[in-house]
Amino acid sequence: MRDPIQWVLNRMPPSGDRYLEVMSMANAAKARAFHRSFPQYGLTPLAGLPNMAGRLGLGGLWVKDESYRFGLNAFKVLGGSFAMGRYIAQELGRDVSQVDYAYLTGEKLKEEFDQATFFTATDGNHGRGVAWAANKLGQKAVVHMPKGSAKSRFDNIAREGAAVTIEEVNYDDCVRMAAAEAAQTEHGVVVQDTAWEGYEEIPAWIMQGYGTMAGEAAEQLKAAGVERPTHVFVQAGVGSLAGAVVGYFANLYPENPPKFIVMEARIADCLYQGAKAGDGAPRMVGGDLQTIMAGLACGEPNTISWDILRNHVDAFLSCPDWVSAKGMRMLAVPVKGDPAVCSGESGAVGMGVISTLMTDNSYKELREALGLDESSKVLMFSTEGDTDPEKYQEIVWGGAYPSA
């Protein structure tokens, strides 16, 4: 008997929603303009899966494929790079619109700013993005990874010139380690998407960077003839991506927002636990946090994102590893006629969830509560490709983590 998806509808009391402005259209536009200034920038695909949608009983299904982002196989670079740009702009007393790629890689910056050292904790994708951006922009990076991190992800970060280590602690403890080291380093800066009291500005900038992905997807849907998605499925670790996506679409469609569904790894389901408690206060999850969804193995929520999510999300789901593995296989070998999507362990959980909700009557109550049917236009985000190639092949080719 497989471990089921656990779920809870959002019954939390609303707050004042003061953080929704973080993901305003103006802030997202600044991030988009910043990213467009990079010569490596290119629009990542929005894969339409009409035949899969028909098989599942949906009106449409689209997957934002971030395996093409800046050649880094994951979306995370959007947040780290924009946070670096905003930090340097602030230090120089300028608006980020005045600090584009050409300026950040030019001789004038060396005269006016010189170098900072950017510290971060990561499962792999965020750290690689920070290391890549630091390398391209002539800055320094120090990256700490939690125990159990894949060597392939370590090697990718090291290749970007960062000082990188794998520690014998979990992700949240790596965050604390990075913060402590930054505090003791001249021109040391923490670039982390986990917000806590006293550390909110840079996480907000990282979220705004993720808005580039959401904005692209919205425009691509309109180009495909879809005025707005009816449902948006987005995965969460600390919740920064989820808060960014939900915040963006809540601002884009203030009068008629989509239904928002947030999905977490079972072992690190801090947002689900908070929603289940129902009082609006965030919850934390401890332990080793070992899951194939390494990018979601975070037990302490971003406080900015939590506030957005508690006000706008319709359902929170806690997902065992088989859900993501199922999604990986379905995207790799979709219904004939649909494009294949190379989606890694933290990227494919949405596909596993959507297919399970639509085909397993154990989830009929949730399906009906969300109004998922043949009229639904569903958007999900594949946030990474095969960032751990050996694990990817073990699951997709070898059938690890079966769903039956």
Active site residue: 123, 307, 314, 388, which one?
123
* Strongest mean pLDDT among 195-204, 207-216, 294-303: 207-216
Q: Are 57 and 373 in contact (CB under 8 A)?
A: yes
pLDDT: which is higher, 312 or 1: 312
DSSP class per residue in 355-367: HHHHH-GGGHHHH
Q: What is the pLDDT of residues 271-296, one digit of tens each?
A: 999 999 999 999 999 888 899 999 99
Which of 197, 216, 243 is the endpoint of a domain?
Answer: 197
User: Do residues 63 and 126 share a domain?
Assistant: no
Q: Are 141 and 131 in contact (CB under 8 A)?
A: yes
Q: What is the pLDDT of residues 63-115, one digit of tens each?
A: 999 999 999 999 999 999 999 999 999 999 999 999 999 999 999 998 899 89
Domain that holds residue 184: 77-197
User: Do residues 225 and 175 share a domain?
Assistant: no
Q: Cα separation of 62 and 218, whole Å?
A: 11
User: Do residues 70 and 95 share a domain?
Assistant: no
DSSP class per residue in 3-66: PPPEEEE--PPP---TTGGGG-HHHHHHHHHHHHTSTT--PPPEEE-HHHHHHHT-SEEEEEEG
pLDDT at 197 over 90: no
Backbone angles phi, psi at 390, to 5 degrees: -65, -45
Q: What is the pLDDT of residues 300-355, one digit of tens each?
A: 999 999 999 999 999 999 999 999 999 999 999 999 999 999 999 999 999 999 99
CATH value at residue 157: 3.40.50.1100
The confidence score (pLDDT) of residue 114 equals 82
pLDDT at 2 over 90: no
| Residues with Cβ within 8 Å of residue 338, at least 6 apart in sequence | 47, 48, 49, 50, 51, 52
- Is 114 an annotated catalytic residue? no
Is residue 402 in some structural domain? Answer: no
The confidence score (pLDDT) of residue 40 equals 96
Taking the C-alpha atoms of 79, 192, 143 and 111 in order, what is their torsion angle to the nearest 10 degrees?
70
Range scoring the smallest mean pLDDT among 52-66, 184-198, 242-256: 184-198
CA end-to-end span of the chain: 8
User: Do residues 179 and 325 share a domain?
Assistant: no
Tokens of 353: 């969830």
Is residue 401 in some structural domain? Answer: no
Taking the C-alpha atoms of 325, 329, 331 and 332 in order, what is their torsion angle to the nearest 10 degrees?
130
Distances (CA, A) of 36 to 193, 220, 387: 22, 16, 24
User: Do residues 120 and 31 share a domain?
Assistant: no
Q: What is the pLDDT of residues 212-248, one digit of tens each?
A: 999 999 999 999 999 999 999 999 999 999 999 999 9
Which of 153, 179, 197 is the endpoint of a domain?
Answer: 197
Tell me which DSSP letter residue 88 carries. H
Q: Cα separation of 105 and 137, whole Å?
A: 5
Tokens of 32: 């988009």
Tell me which DSSP letter residue 2 carries. P
pLDDT at 1 over 70: no
The confidence score (pLDDT) of residue 155 equals 94
The confidence score (pLDDT) of residue 169 equals 93
Which of 197, 219, 249 is the endpoint of a domain?
Answer: 197
User: Do residues 221 and 290 share a domain?
Assistant: yes
How many domains is the chain partitioned into structurally? 2
How many CB atoms neighbour CB 191 within 10 A?
Answer: 30
- Is 76 an annotated catalytic residue? yes
Half-sphere exposure of 363 (CA within 13 A, CB side): 21
Q: Are 69 and 46 in contact (CB under 8 A)?
A: no
Distances (CA, A) of 306 to 236, 272, 277: 11, 11, 14
Closest CA to 82 of 12, 32, 121, 9: 32
Q: What is the pLDDT of residues 135-151, one digit of tens each?
A: 999 999 999 999 989 89
User: Do residues 226 and 342 share a domain?
Assistant: yes
116 residue type, one letter: A
User: Do residues 37 and 114 share a domain?
Assistant: no
The confidence score (pLDDT) of residue 391 equals 96
Active site residue: 30, 64, 76, 259, which one?
76
Task: Give pTM, 2 decimals.
Answer: 0.96
User: Do residues 40 and 68 share a domain?
Assistant: yes
